[in-house]
């Protein structure tokens, strides 16, 4: 493959061998509003005409580089292109095609209607008690939009389970994500979770770990202890990040390690400290988080183990009708009640054993300071 970037050109053109299976005509793509952007890349909403031979227009998302991107960012986008060609799973974001010729590289991926899981969870805090309770409270527009109803504990377990299935698939493909977090899980129509953002992903077909050698911005609060100290990334370091993702889900998009500066984390984690059990979190779910955060990578559960455990929790939540379907509108909403000051850390070694979940726990409805909790983050 030959590639070059012209620094004088406004658009970062490059030469890349065309892949006829994936190439999409640039003229058939109409770019729309920006959905999100980082330091070097952005994602825009777009419409694609006759995508994959389908008549008419399809709403898609398009990933591209910004003007200030360098060779290394282009390499990252190209590696994501190569990687997305290989993946096909209902809980991993799907690529439809790319525009790789005669202009900047565009990756065309499925559109996730509700954006990132982190924002979706935070927005859900705004759904107040008037939306909860019996059917009498529900107006016709509410019934027409089941995706807008208040979240139940069963929904949250389902979000975690769907994410674990996507990660299990990537692990089986020998792919390490390296930046798993609620901001990188997207929520599609029907509240379907999609693992996304492989900008930092690396394939590890040749070895079981990727050692990061270059300095760069790293997501400290989601990183495993061996990634922080030794720059080692494996599927088992993704499992650690999944534990933090579970914490984010249970707290409806809370900030991990509230009030703790990232540079303080290194020593705290090394001495065995972990985040305390969030309010309203079951012992069973918290125990799963703690096992994801074991210091020795091989003592953490695999994504297959995690998926099975979450399935069992779904049975207990009585929302186990169809694992892929949205759960019934049994109203349960969280107030995570975590402030920057009063969230202590807990010593992992003194954690009590999990109790069996009582079958009636989902009926303990939690109404609390919804709007107050939302403003704090």
**Helix or strand or coil: residue 277?**
coil
Tell whether residue 287 is among the known ligand binding residues: no
Could you tell me which residue, 375 or 28, shows the higher pLDDT? 28
- What mean pLDDT is predicted for residues 135-158? 66
Domain ranges across the chain: 19-111, 112-126+148-321
Tell whether residue 43 is among the known ligand binding residues: yes
- What mean pLDDT is predicted for residues 87-116? 94
Q: How far apart are CA 85 and CA 242, in angstroms?
A: 24
Convert the pLDDT of each residue in 147-190 to its tens digit.
Answer: 677 888 899 999 999 999 999 999 999 999 999 999 999 999 99
Tell whether residue 41 is among the known ligand binding residues: yes
> Residue 179 catalytic?
yes
Give the global pTM.
0.75
Tell whether residue 183 is among the known ligand binding residues: yes
Convert the pLDDT of each residue in 271-301 to its tens digit.
Answer: 999 999 998 899 999 999 999 999 999 999 9
- Which of 68-77, 125-134, 142-151 shows the lowest per-residue confidence on average (mean pLDDT)? 125-134
Instruction: Give, to the nearest 10 degrees, the angle between helix 283-292 and helix 303-316.
Output: 170
**Helix or strand or coil: residue 141?**
helix
- In this prediction, residue 313 has a pLDDT band, given cuts at 50, 70 and 90, of very high
pLDDT at 147: 66
- In this prediction, residue 146 has a pLDDT band, given cuts at 50, 70 and 90, of low
Where are the alpha helices (H) located in the chain, listed in sequence order?
A: 71-86, 117-124, 140-144, 153-172, 225-230, 235-250, 262-270, 283-292, 303-316, 370-375
Q: Which fold has domain 112-126+148-321?
A: Transferase(Phosphotransferase); domain 1 (1.10.510)
Q: Which member of 76, 179, 319, 336 is catalytic?
A: 179
Query: Which CATH code is given to the segment(s) 19-111?
Result: 3.30.200.20
- In this prediction, residue 200 has a pLDDT band, given cuts at 50, 70 and 90, of low
């Amino acid at each position: 493959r030959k590639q070059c970037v012209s620094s004088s050109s406004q658009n970062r053109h490059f030469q890349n061998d065309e892949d006829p299976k994936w190439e999409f005509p640039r003229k058939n793509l109409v770019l729309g509003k920006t959905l999100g952007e980082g330091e070097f890349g952005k994602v825009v909403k777009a419409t694609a005409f006759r995508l994959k031979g389908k008549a008419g227009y399809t709403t898609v998302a398009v990933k591209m580089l910004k003007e200030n991107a360098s060779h290394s960012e282009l390499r990252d986008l190209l590696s994501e292109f190569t990687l997305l060609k290989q993946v096909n799973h209902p809980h991993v974001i799907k690529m439809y095609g790319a525009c790789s010729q005669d202009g900047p590289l565009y990756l065309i991926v499925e559109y996730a209607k509700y954006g990132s899981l982190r924002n979706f969870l935070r927005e859900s805090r705004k759904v107040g008690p008037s939306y909860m309770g019996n059917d009498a409270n529900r107006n016709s527009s509410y019934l027409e939009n089941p995706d807008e109803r208040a979240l139940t504990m069963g929904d949250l377990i389902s979000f975690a389970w769907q994410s674990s299935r996507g990660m299990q698939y990537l692990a089986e493909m020998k792919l390490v994500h390296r930046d798993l977090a609620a901001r990188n899980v997207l929520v599609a129509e029907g509240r379907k979770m999609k693992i996304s953002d492989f900008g930092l992903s690396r394939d590890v077909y040749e070895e079981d770990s990727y050692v990061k050698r270059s300095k760069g911005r790293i997501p400290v609060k989601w990183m495993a202890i061996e990634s922080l100290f030794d720059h080692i990334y494996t599927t088992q370091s993704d499992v650690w990040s999944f534990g933090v993702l579970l914490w984010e889900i249970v707290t409806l998009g809370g900030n991990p390690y509230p009030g703790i500066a990232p540079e303080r984390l290194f020593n705290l984690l090394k001495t065995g400290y972990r985040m305390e059990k969030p309010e309203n979190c079951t012992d069973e779910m918290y125990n799963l988080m703690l096992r994801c955060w074991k210091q020795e990578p091989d003592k953490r559960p695999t994504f297959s183990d995690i998926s099975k455990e979450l399935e069992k929790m779904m049975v207990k939540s009585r929302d186990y009708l169809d694992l892929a379907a949205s759960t019934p509108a049994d109203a349960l909403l969280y107030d995570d009640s975590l402030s920057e000051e009063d969230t202590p850390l807990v010593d992992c070694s003194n954690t009590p054993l999990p109790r069996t979940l009582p079958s009636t726990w989902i009926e303990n409805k939690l109404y609390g300071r919804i709007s107050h909790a939302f403003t704090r983050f």
